[in-house]
């Protein structure tokens, strides 16, 4: 099972929006933990199992009531929004730097630095 990442943006039936950071293997959505009325669970799944290009989506199960049989479920891709029991869920995956992002190279040492400062100091009993 893939790990959760990013944030889940939730807009309840009254228009109140909250943001839940996603991490670990699963997240619970409870009134005490998030302030969202009802109960929900979120976990990440691969939708194309066994494929080298497996796509990760969130499986979200949610219901505003306490009855387990009245909960709804849906798959949510990164950047998409789904609605379950009148509540909208939007998954924002963490952004990765683009391939064109240049990584800066280390600077060459300054020519006026004394030689004893160019390398780490010896540690007793290690660098003999």
DSSP one-letter code for 123:
-
Q: Identify the pLDDT of residue 1.
A: 73
52-100 pLDDT, tens digit per residue, is 677 889 999 999 987 788 899 999 999 999 999 999 999 998 876 555 5
Q: Identify the pLDDT of residue 87.
A: 96
pTM, entire model:
0.70
Query: Is the C-alpha dihedral spanning 19, 20, 22, 25 positive or negative?
Result: negative
Is the confidence at residue 126, as pLDDT, over 80? no
| Euclidean distance between the first and the last CA atom of the chain, given in angstroms as a whole number | 49
Dihedral of the CA atoms 63, 70, 92, 76 (nearest 10)?
Answer: -170
3-state helix, strand, coil in the chain (%, to 5): 10, 35, 55
**Pairing mode of beta strands 87-92, 81-84:** antiparallel
13-27 pLDDT, tens digit per residue, is 999 999 999 999 999
Average pLDDT, the chain: 84
């Amino acid at each position: 099972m893939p790990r959760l990442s990013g944030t889940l943006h939730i807009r309840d039936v009254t228009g109140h929006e909250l943001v839940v950071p996603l991490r670990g293997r699963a997240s619970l959505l409870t009134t005490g933990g998030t302030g969202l009325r009802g109960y929900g669970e979120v976990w990440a799944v691969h939708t194309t199992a066994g494929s080298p290009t497996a796509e990760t989506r969130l499986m979200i199960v949610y219901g505003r009531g306490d009855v387990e049989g009245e909960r709804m479920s849906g798959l949510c891709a990164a950047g998409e929004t789904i609605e379950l029991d009148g509540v909208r869920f939007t998954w924002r995956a963490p952004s990765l730097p683009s391939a064109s992002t240049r990584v800066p190279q280390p600077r060459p040492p300054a020519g006026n630095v004394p030689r004893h400062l160019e390398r780490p100091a010896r540690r007793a009993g290690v660098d003999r």
